[in-house]
Amino acid sequence: MYSGIKSRPIYPGLRPDPNARINLIVCDRDGAEAVVELFARADEKFAKCSTVILADDARSAESSGLLQRLQPATVEVKADLPAAIERLKATLASASMGMRLYAAGTEPLIGSVVQAGIENSIDPLSVYTEHRGSLMRRVQCVHCKGMIENVTTNPVKCAHCGLLLLVRDHYSKRLAAFQGVCINAEDPHESPEPKVEFQ
């Protein structure tokens, strides 16, 4: 890995914004505990003006208990990340001034929330973020532009063009993805063994 790459995201953690009129919080199962901790640091008013979009099927006892702990906020449960992001986009399309956007969970979730915010003129630096859970990455092959989801190894084979890609720390907020470049362009027979790096 290359250290010191400035585009590598930093997630400073969630904190309540006392000036927000509306709090819109998106999390997955991994990030839900961070949201519970956020609510514990906030006052009652914060919870009453908050909506949580949880990307989880909510069928487990763990998720049911979690939802109860998030009360009295409005909690919308979506089956997976794409459904949660669609709901987020619909909410952002009609959002008013004074809304604060939060994201907690895996990097693909955080990246997708920030990307949706950018599409709705929200400065990425104004989104409160906290990473929890797996280090898996969303990777874009810079050669064919295909997206590879839930990458845990480095290098990784592109699911679209078949090239063996080095997963770099270079990150695109616009694409919500890390960049993957061909690792064996000079000698295609050279195939470094993939190692789990983002578990």
Q: Report pLDDT digits (tens) over 141-189.
A: 999 999 999 999 999 999 999 999 999 999 998 899 999 999 998 888 8
Report the pLDDT value the prediction gives residue 77, as an integer from 0 to 100.
Answer: 87
Percent of the chain with pLDDT over 90: 71
Closest listed residue to residue 38, CA positions, set 100, 88, 117: 100
Distance separating alpha carbons of residues 6 and 187, to the nearest angstrom: 30
Whether pLDDT at 59 is above 90: no
Q: Residue 157, Cα to own-chain centre: how many angstroms?
A: 22
Which residue ranges form the domains of the chain, and what is each CATH number? 22-131 (3.40.50.80), 137-196 (no CATH)
Distance separating alpha carbons of residues 66 and 63, to the nearest angstrom: 5
Average pLDDT over residues 30-50: 92
Q: What is the pTM of this model?
A: 0.87
Closest listed residue to residue 101, CA positions, set 121, 76, 72, 79: 121
List residues bridging with 166 in a β-sheet: 181
List residues bridging with 51 in a β-sheet: 24, 74
Among 35-39, 57-61, 146-150, 189-193, whose mean pLDDT is lowest? Answer: 57-61
- Please give the single-letter amino acid code of residue 102: Y
Residue pair 187/193 in contact (Cβ under 8 Å)? The answer is: no
Distance separating alpha carbons of residues 32 and 25, to the nearest angstrom: 10
User: Please, what is the average pLDDT of the chain?
Assistant: 90
Question: What is the phi/psi pair of residue 96, to 5°?
Answer: -110, 175
Report the pLDDT value the prediction gives residue 1, as an integer from 0 to 100.
Answer: 39
Report the pLDDT value the prediction gives residue 66, as an integer from 0 to 100.
Answer: 73
Average pLDDT over residues 6-20: 91
Residue pair 194/153 in contact (Cβ under 8 Å)? The answer is: yes
